[in-house]
Amino acid sequence: MNIYKDYIKEIDERKNQGLHPKPIDGAELLSEIIAQIKDSDNTDRSDSLKFFIYNTLPGTTSAAGVKAKFLKEIILGESVVEEISPAFAFELLSHMKGGPSIEVLLDLALGNDMSIAHEAANVLKTQVFLYEADTNRLKEAFNSGNEIAKEIIESYAKAEFFTKLPEVAEEIKVVTYIAGEGDISTDLLSPGNQAHSRSDRELHGKCMITPQAQEEIKALQAQHPDASVMLIAEKGTMGVGSSRMSGVNNVALWTGRQASPYVPFVNIAPIVGGTNGISPIFLTTVDVTGGIGIDLKNWVKKVDENGNPVRNENGEVVLEEAYSVATGTVLTINTKEKKLYNGDKELIDLTKSFTPQKMEFIKAGGSYAIVFGKKLQTFAAQLLGIEAPAVFAPSKEISHEGQGLTAVEKIFNRNAVGSTPGKVLHAGSDVRVQVNIVGSQDTTGLMTSQELESMAATVISPIVDGAYQSGCHTASVWDKKAQANIPKLMKFMNEFGLITARDPKGEYHSMTDVIHKVLNDITVDEWAIIIGGDSHTRMSKGVAFGADSGTVALALATGEASMPIPESVKVTFKGDMKEHMDFRDVVHATQAQMLKQFGGENVFQGRIIEVHIGTLPADQAFTFTDWTAEMKAKASINISEDNTLIESLEIAKGRIQIMIDKGMDNKNQVLKGLIEKADKRIAEIRSGEKPALTPDANAKYYAEVVVDLDEIVEPMIADPDVNNDDVSKRYTHDTIRTLSYYGGEKKVDLGFVGSCMVHKGDLKIVSQMLRNLEKQQGKVEFNAPLVVAAPTYNIIDELKAEGDWELLEKYSGFEFDDNAPKGEARTEYQNVMYLERPGCNLCMGNQEKAAKGDTVLATSTRLFQGRVVEDSERKKGESLLASTPVVVLSAIIGRIPNIDEYKAAVEGIDLTKFAPPIKELVQVGH
C-alpha cells in the first residue's frame, strides 16, 4: 500500500501550501484505490471513492484506462459498489472524453446485452473524441448489420452530439476587473519563472497576477454571484507576448466554470477584454476553452473640430474615454444582438466576438469539440452514403473575381481541406488547412501532452511531414524541476512520434537548440504551414503560427488547423544600408517607420507581414520574421529570390543530416523524408517547374510599408520606457530609439547575446569585436557581465572550425559543460563573459535572470516587466533590445556607447548586411 500512503503524504504537504490533492494520472495508484473501494471494511474506502470519482484525470492517462475498466465491471455486474450504480457508471464514462472510455462504451454498445447496449449507445451519441480505431469498429459493426451501430452512426450524421447541447445564454452578465494598464503580457497571467508548475493546474493558478488580485477577484465573485468576472487590459491589448495556454487556463481557473464535476481544476469559458482587443494567439487559446474575447474600444482618439487627431507635446495621439470599465462595473453581453450594454445603454457592437463559428465554440465548451465533431459527422455521412446535414455554421468563403493572391492566400488555398472545390479563397475566408510541420517546446510541452491525453490521441497524424519536441526553454539549468519534468515529456513525445531533443534511451547527445531554429531548418518547403507552441514560431520559410499548447496538440493529433485567412501587409525596402549598421537595426526601423507612416496605428497587428526580403538567406532573414511577434503580427512570410531559397534549403539539408547522424531519426524516418522533400523542392526551383513562392502582381493588401534604408543612420534600440508617466506606454515594443538618444551616458549592468534572434554571424561579430578592440586597446576588459548563448550546437561547431570559439574561450570566465550542467540558476554575475549552453537562457526568464533592478541590454525579444529582470526596491529592472555589436560594446564599456565609439568599434567588422532585391518579387499574369 506504499503508493497510496505516498499519495496521502503528498496531500498533507499540499495542504500546507493551501492546495487540494493532485489529480491522479497513474494506473498503479488508481488500482490500489479501486482495491480499497472493493474492500468494504477498508478504513480508507470513503476517501478512495472520492479520489476515484472526482480526482482522476480522463482521456488516455493510464489511470483513465483503469477507471474505465472498473466502470465496465460495475455496469456488467461483475463488481458491485453501493455508491456507484450502473447508471452513475455510465455518467462517469460520459465525462472521460475518449480513449479507454470509448473503447469500453463500444464494447458495451456492441455486446449481447441489449438493455446495456442501448444505454451505452446513448452515451456514445454524446461523444466526439473518436479516432480511427473507434470509427473502424463502428464501421465493421454497421456493415455487419448491427442495429445499435446504425443508430449511433445515424446520430453522428445528424451531429446530435452538438445539436442537443443547451443553447448559449442570450444574456451574460459580467463584472469588470482591470488586470493592468497597457498591454498585458501572458507573463502576468502565467509567469515564465513558474513554467515548471504549468501541468499542475491548481498550483500554477496561484501565480496569476498577484495574491492580492486573486483575492479581489474572489471578492467580486462573492458580490456578484450571477456574473462572470471579465479580466481587462485597460488602454492595451490582452495576452501579448508568449502563447500561453497556461495563462488562459489560469484566467479560467479564477473566473470560468468547471468543465466537468468529475475532473478537477479544468475550467472553461473565461471572458477577457482589452481596449485594443486580444492578441491573436491568445484569442485562439480563449476559443479552445469556449471563452469570449472582447475588443472593448473604450478609449478612442480625441479629434479636433476638423476631425484630425489631437496630439500632445510629444506628438502622441491623445486618447479619451468612450465609456468606463473600471473594476466592479457590471455590464451585460447580449449574444443574440451581439452588443455590450451598461444597463440599457448600448456601448459597442460585438459581432467579431460572436461570429457563427465562435458561437459554436462557446456552445460546445471549446473549439476541439467542434473540430472533432465535424470529422465525426463527415465519417458518418460518408458511411451512410448521404450528404451531411447542414448543422454547423458554413465556413465563410470569400472570393473576389479578378483579384490576385497574396503569398499567404496562395499557401492557404493549396493546403485547404473541405473547402468548395475550384473556388479561390481570399482573406477573411474560414479555412481548415493541412499542417506540415509541428513544434512543441519544453515549458508548454507537458501541457501539450496532457491535451493529447485528454483528447485521447495516442499517435501523431500520418499527414504531418515532421514534428519536433525541443529542450531549449529548460536548457540553462538542469535543476530538480527540469529533471522531474523533461525526461517524462521526452519519453511521451518520442513514443507519440515526434523527433525529440533528448533521447529517452540516452543513445544520442541531448540537443538544446532553440526550437524556432530547428523548425526553421526542418521546414523544407516555403509552401508549408507550421504550428508551434511558442509565439516566436515564425519561420523564414513557409508561414508559421505560434499557438497555444492545445492547438499544437490538435495539429499533432489531426494534422489540421482551422483559422480565417489573415489579411496581409506588404513590406518592401528602398535605399542602401549603411556600412556601420546591422540588419537588426533594419528590423527595429521597420517598426518605427511603420508607426510613423500610419500615424501611430499598428497596421501589422493581427495580420501577416509579407516581407520581400529577396536576397537574405533563411538564418539571417529569421531575425526579421522572429521580431514580427513583437510587432503583434499574426505571422510573417518571406518572399525570397530563387537562388537565395535554394541556398537556404541546402543549409537546412545539412543540418537535418547532422540530426540523422546523431541518431535522432525515428522508425518512420521522418528526417530522411524531409531531406528528400528538400531535394525535390530544389529540383523544382532549378528547373523552373515551380519557382520560389511570390504573390500575384494584382494581390490586395491591407497596407503597404516601404522601409527607407537611407533613413537608418545609427543603431536602433527597443526601450521598455519603464518610467513613462503613461503606464499604458510602458513595456511595449513600440518605443524604438536611436543610439544618440542615450547620449553615451546610460549605464548597462548586463549584456546578453543570445535567444532565437541571433545567428552564426552574430557570434562571429562578438569574436570580431573582441579582436578589433584588442588590437585598438591592447586588451579587452568588461565593465559589465556579457552572457553569450549560441542558439544551436551547429553554430558552436562551426565557430570552433573557423577559429572564433577559441577567442571567445580566451575572454570567457565560464564555459558550459554538457557533462556537468548547472544545477542551480546563477544569481550573481562578475564582469566577465559567460559562454552558456545553447538555448533560450535569459530570454525565457524561467531559470536564469539578471540581478533585480539591473539595466540589461539584450539581443533577445523580451522586454516585459519581470521577464529577463525583475524590479528591485531601488529601481525598476529594464530590458532594452539592440543589435549584437551594440550589446557587446555596452558590456565592455559598461554603458550604452555614443555613435563615435560605436563606429570605431565596428570598423571593418562583417555585420549582418542586407541589400533589397533589385527586381520586384511578384508573379505576373495570375
Contact 476, 841 (CB under 8 A): yes
CA distance 440 to 464: 14
| Residues whose CB falls within 8 Å of the CB of residue 580, separated by 6 or more in sequence, listed in order | 902, 903, 906, 907, 911
pLDDT at residue 306, rounded to an integer = 87
Q: Does the structure show a pLDDT above 70 at 621? A: yes
Between CA 70 and CA 75, with CA 71 as vertex, the angle to 5 degrees is 120
**Would you tell me the crossing angle of helices 884-893 and 899-906 to the nearest 10 degrees?**
110
CA atoms within 13 A on the CB side of 270: 30
pLDDT at residue 926, rounded to an integer = 52
Burial 622-658 (b: 16+ CB within 10 A, else e): bbbbbbbbbbbbbbbbbbbbeebbbebbebbbebbeb
534 pLDDT tier (thresholds 50, 70, 90)? confident
CA atoms within 13 A on the CB side of 606: 19
Grid coordinates in use for 765?
Answer: 561579430
Q: Does the structure show a pLDDT above 60 at 1? A: no
Segment (H or E) for 274: strand 271-274
How long a stretch of residues is the chain?
926
Average pLDDT over residues 792-798: 94
Q: Does the structure show a pLDDT above 70 at 908? A: yes
Average pLDDT over residues 508-518: 93
Q: Does the structure show a pLDDT above 90 at 444? A: no
Q: Does the structure show a pLDDT above 90 at 280? A: no
The owner of cell 471572458 is 271
Instruction: Report pLDDT digits (tens) over 207-236.
Output: 999 999 999 999 999 999 999 999 999 999
| Residues whose CB falls within 8 Å of the CB of residue 61, separated by 6 or more in sequence, listed in order | 25, 26, 453
pLDDT at residue 919, rounded to an integer = 85
Strands 568-574 and 608-614: parallel
pLDDT at residue 243, rounded to an integer = 59
Q: For residue 541, give the nearest of 639, 472, 452 by alpha carbon.
A: 639
pLDDT at residue 550, rounded to an integer = 85
CA distance 231 to 219: 14
pLDDT at residue 713, rounded to an integer = 97
pLDDT at residue 456, rounded to an integer = 85
Q: Does the structure show a pLDDT above 80 at 708? A: yes
Average pLDDT over residues 861-889: 94
Q: Does the structure show a pLDDT above 90 at 13? A: yes
pLDDT at residue 925, rounded to an integer = 65
Give the CA dihedral 661, 663, 667, 671, nearest 10 degrees.
Answer: -40
Helices (DSSP H) in 228-330: which residue ranges? 245-255, 280-288
pLDDT at residue 533, rounded to an integer = 87
pLDDT at residue 202, rounded to an integer = 95
Q: What percent of the chain has pLDDT over 90?
A: 84
pLDDT at residue 197, rounded to an integer = 86
| Residues whose CB falls within 8 Å of the CB of residue 832, separated by 6 or more in sequence, listed in order | 782, 785, 786, 811, 812, 813, 814
Burial 516-550 (b: 16+ CB within 10 A, else e): bbbbbbbbbbbbbbbbbbbbbbbbbbbbbbbbbbb
Cα(first)–Cα(last) distance of the chain, in Å?
A: 72
Contact 761, 885 (CB under 8 A): no
CA distance 802 to 238: 46
Backbone torsions φ then ψ of 582, nearest 5 degrees: -110, 155
pTM of the model: 0.85
Q: Which amino acid, one-letter code, is at 852? A: K
User: pLDDT averaged over the chain?
Assistant: 94
CA distance 436 to 295: 32
Average pLDDT over residues 708-721: 97
Backbone torsions φ then ψ of 586, nearest 5 degrees: -65, -40
Grid coordinates in use for 918?
Answer: 533589385
241 pLDDT tier (thresholds 50, 70, 90)? confident
pLDDT at residue 101, rounded to an integer = 96
CA distance 517 to 468: 11
Contact 125, 160 (CB under 8 A): yes
pLDDT at residue 822, rounded to an integer = 93
Q: Does the structure show a pLDDT above 90 at 105? A: yes
In DSSP terms, which residues pair with 184 in a beta bridge? Answer: 238
Q: In Å, how far are 232, 513, 539, 621, 843 from 846, measured between CA atoms?
A: 25, 17, 24, 27, 9
Q: For residue 766, give the nearest of 840, 834, 839 by alpha carbon.
A: 834
CA distance 489 to 452: 12
Which comes out higher in pLDDT, residue 481 or 106?
106
Contact 880, 886 (CB under 8 A): no
Q: What percent of the chain has pLDDT over 70?
A: 99
CA distance 380 to 819: 55
